Amino acid sequence: MHITVVGSGYVGLVLGACLAETGNDVTCLDVDARKIEGLRRNVLPIYEPGLDALVARNQAEGRLTFTTDAAAAIGSAEVCFIAVGTPQDEDGSADLTYVLAVAEAIGRHMQRELVVVTKSTVPVGTAAKVEAKIREFTDRPFHMCSNPEFLKEGAAVDDFMKPDRVVVGVATDVARQVMGDLYAPFVRTGRPVIFMDIPSAEMTKYAANAMLATRISFMNEVAMLCEKTGADVDLVRKGIGSDARIGPSFLFPGPGYGGSCFPKDVQALVRTGEEYGAELSVVRAVHAANERQKHVLGAKVARALGGRVQGARIAVWGLAFKPNTDDMREAPALVLIEELLAGGATVAVHDPVAMHEAQRRLGTRVTFAPNAFAALDGADALVVVTDWNEYRHPDFARIKAALKRPIVVDGRNLYDPAKMRTLGFTYDSIGRGR
């Protein structure tokens, strides 16, 4: 099948490479000529485990190409995916400028009957707007479809190749048949392709992310209460997660969620509710709780240092919003670092893959350590923000020797409190007491 994916960012690149892997001829179209040139040389604009090999292999075998030529890419397509960004507007809604620009390009350049698929995260009603925009520029037949993505950064390739479900919103039998054929190789083990109407598919994406964000914010609030009552949030998490009605996923307390999806999608869902006269008070509270949670680590550091951070040197391990990605969008580490700098501290940071992105965001205001232990030299405290594997079992004797004061604030509950006390650390974590 001849497929064009418009947008070569996180979603579009994973989508294009994985569809090419199953034998389709895929063209990834982007307006960023520099990005496209890099991709032709197998230089990826994002870090995602396994994606580089997938791109290189399918380019070498001729199934995956990259271009800035909209007329050629759209004109040859049987299926056209819209996978451009939908940044958050000032009022919290999703900005559809790029999506509608692609719709216009499709209308101008399509040469055959086409299935048009919105893959970008978009609010309910977007497919209808895309359809109307396309019809302004063509009278050729086409079929609208909504196919929200549910990829986890750091595991996106596996998520796409082995999905737990595929959600597809369609309005015609043609779209249903084409999308069923396209996803058949990925659901051979019996995982479902769930067909539904287009508005329901659009809503499913936002509802799923809001539910996951709710679990995170809920557990963070439980952790806060555990600290005040003397309960251990790790034991509470295990106790409720073993309930089959609840399950264990997304119940780990931490410094708040970040990334490109949860913060933006939660606020966009609230904004959609406002537009339709529905007060989504639970979803609104999830966002508020998460914003509060991002300040927890800063408060813990200040308390451990006697109430203020002025003049202190703080080591920060982990900058990306989660492990196995270089994505720092809405990362809790950014909130912590800004608070520390504003309080008069100096900051040394380390992250296995996000250092380049951090340099772009933070410039010369922090010290970038070449390795995790180099960040500790002369520091008054260590703060663990992202749960990378290399931070899980460090040499504690080396940590203690490098720190001026043996203070560790563990934002991911990686270490055992009793062990840390035995080793002589002043140790604080999330929801497990001090």
Q: Which of 136, 169, 196 is the last residue of a domain?
A: 196
Do 152 and 22 reside in the same domain of the chain? yes
What's the pTM value of the predicted model, to 2 decimals?
A: 0.91
In DSSP terms, which residues pair with 409 in a beta bridge? Answer: 383, 428
> Please, what is the Cα angle at 80 between 74 and 84, to 5 degrees?
100
In a domain, 370, yes or no: yes
Region 206-229: mean pLDDT is 96
Query: CATH code at 141?
Result: 3.40.50.720
pLDDT of residue 92: 78
Cα–Cα distance measured from residue 216 to residue 218, given in angstroms and rounded to the nearest whole number: 5
User: CA-CA distance, 237 to 336, in Å (whole number)?
Assistant: 25
The separation between CA 198 and the C-alpha centre of its own chain, rounded to angstroms, equals 24
Task: Please check whether residues 278 and 332 belong to one and the same domain.
Answer: no
Distance CA 130, CA 233 (A): 46
Q: Summarize the confidence of residues 320-324 as an average pLDDT.
A: 96
Q: Would the pLDDT of 91 be above 80? A: no
- Is 433 part of a structural domain of the chain? no
Same domain? For 302 and 282 the reply is no
Q: What is the dihedral of CA 131, 133, 135, 140, to 10 degrees?
A: -80
Do residue 247 and residue 325 come from a single domain?
Answer: no
User: What is the predicted pLDDT for the residue at 353?
Assistant: 96
Predicted pLDDT at 281 = 96
Q: Is residue 434 part of a domain?
A: no
Q: Beta strands 166-170 and 346-350: pairing type?
A: unpaired
> Which listed residue (80, 145, 226, 261) is catalytic?
261
Give pLDDT, residue 94.
Answer: 84
Q: How far is C-alpha 299 from the chain's CA centre?
A: 26
pLDDT of residue 74: 97
261 part of the active site = yes
Give the residue-averaged pLDDT of 264-273: 92
Average pLDDT value for residue range 144-153: 94
Do 214 and 167 fall into the same domain? no
* Structural tokens at position 225: 């209460």
Question: What is the full DSSP assignment across 145-209?
Answer: EE----PPTTSHHHHHHS-S-EEEEESSHHHHHHHHHHHGGG-TTS--EEEE-HHHHHHHHHHHH
The verdict on 131 and 212 lying in the same domain is: no
Considering the domain boundaries, does residue 116 fall inside one? yes
- 211 in the same domain as 189: no
> What does the pLDDT look like over 240-250, one tens digit per residue?
999 999 999 99
Is residue 314, in this structure, part of any structural domain at all?
A: yes
- Residue 228 structural domain: 205-232+242-292
Asked whether residue 400 falls in the same domain as residue 334, the answer is: yes
Sheet of 407-410: strand order equals 367-368, 346-350, 313-317, 381-384, 407-410, 426-428
Residue 177 structure tokens: 């048949």
Count of domains observed in the chain: 3
pLDDT band of 142, cuts 50, 70, 90? very high
- Residues 57 and 179 occupy one common structural domain: yes
pLDDT band at 434 (very low <50, low <70, confident <90, very high): low
pLDDT band at 203 (very low <50, low <70, confident <90, very high): very high
Q: What's the rounded Cα separation, in Å, for the pair 90 and 69?
A: 32
Buried b (16+ CB within 10 A) or exposed e, 118-130: bbbbbbbbbbebb
pLDDT in tens, 362-412: 999 999 999 999 999 999 999 999 999 999 999 999 999 999 999 999 999
> Is pLDDT at 90 greater than 80 in this prediction?
no
Say yes or no: 275 and 321 in one domain: no
Q: What is the pLDDT of residues 165-198, one digit of tens each?
A: 999 999 999 999 999 999 999 999 888 999 999 9
Query: Distance (Å, rounded) from C-alpha 88 to C-alpha 415?
Result: 36
Say if residues 25 and 63 touch (Cβ distance below 8 Å). Answer: yes
Is there a single domain that holds both residue 43 and residue 77?
yes
* CB-based contacts of 230, cutoff 8 Å, min separation 6: 433
Is the domain of 41 the same as that of 61?
Answer: yes
Q: Of 268, 271, 358, 345, which is closest to residue 309 (Cα–Cα)? A: 345
Q: Name the average pLDDT for the chain.
A: 96
- What does the alpha-carbon distance between residue 78 and residue 42 come to, in Å, rounded to a whole number? 26
| CATH number of the structural domain spanning residue 273 | 1.10.1040.10
